Amino acid sequence: MTRETQAIQDDIAYMRSLAHEGRHAPLLAGPILVTAGIVFGTTSLIQWAIQSGLVRLNPWSQLWVWIVAGVVFAIALTVLIGRIQKKPGVNSAGNKAVGAAWEGVGYGIFVTWLALVALSFKTGQWSWMAVMPTVVLVAYGSAWMIGAAMTKTRWMSYTALASYVGAVAVAWFMGSATIYPVFAVILLAVALVPGLVLMRQEPSEVV
């Protein structure tokens, strides 16, 4: 009877620790968002430089710069995920849900990009690729909405709204090279800066 009571108490303590971790564990996606903002924001500016004639390169280089950016981000993502897995709070409900949301966003963006590349090859109309900034920002907005719902954090709701507004804003510039610096600035607002905020909220590591 004593062993059964102790087992029940241990289970209750375990459940309490999980609940406590879920309430207080900070979201750990900050470094990934910062990296995405830097890599893809910079790539957007390179795309703008090519399209505006500031840099004279083969037209196919516009496709290759995004492929290189994707590879760089994938490598960085692998390293960052390995580090995040070692941090306290990684198994909290909030981090699991938000991590799954951003993972879905990443796959969705990548598959959409592949689909638009295939469509552009088939039709010979590469203007289809100008839809990508809107697709990315809509996806970001949805991920931020999930983050806001899980953490009850108002600033994440505002970031989600900013992403949705940005998705419409970049659509206004379709057909012009200006869409890419505009996209880079919006990424700064909805990826890099919020990512830095999340990183500041992480507890200091004890050495």
Q: Cβ neighbours of residue 38 under 8 Å, at least 6 residues apart?
A: 192
* pLDDT at 207 (0 to 100): 38
pLDDT at residue 189 tops 70: yes
pLDDT more than 90, % of the chain: 63
Is the sign of the CA dihedral 95, 82, 41, 59 positive or negative?
A: negative
* pLDDT at 167 (0 to 100): 97
* pLDDT at 91 (0 to 100): 84
CA contacts within 13 A on the Cβ side of 58: 5
Kindly report the number of other CB atoms within 10 A of residue 187's CB atom. Answer: 27
pLDDT, mean of residues 125-131: 91
Amino acid in the structure at residue 96: K
pTM: 0.83
Which residue did the predictor score with more confidence, 150 or 167? Answer: 167
C-alpha distances (whole Å) from 122 to each of 65, 113, 116, 150 are 21, 14, 10, 42
| Cα gap 180→194, rounded to integer Å | 20
Q: What is the tens place of the pLDDT at every residue in 28-76? A: 899 999 999 999 999 999 999 998 888 887 878 888 999 999 999 999 9
Report domain extents, the chain.
27-196
| Cα gap 60→107, rounded to integer Å | 24
CA 61 and chain centroid, separation: 25
- Confidence grade of residue 87 (pLDDT, cut at 50, 70, 90): confident
| Cα gap 68→1, rounded to integer Å | 63
Q: What is the tens place of the pLDDT at every residue in 1-23? A: 455 555 555 544 544 444 444 44
Token duo for residue 65: 């710069």
Q: Dihedral, CA atoms, 71, 77, 82, 85, nearest 10 degrees? A: -160
* pLDDT at 54 (0 to 100): 87
Contact call for residues 61 and 50 (beta carbons, < 8 A):
yes
pLDDT at residue 204 tops 50: yes
| Cα gap 40→167, rounded to integer Å | 15
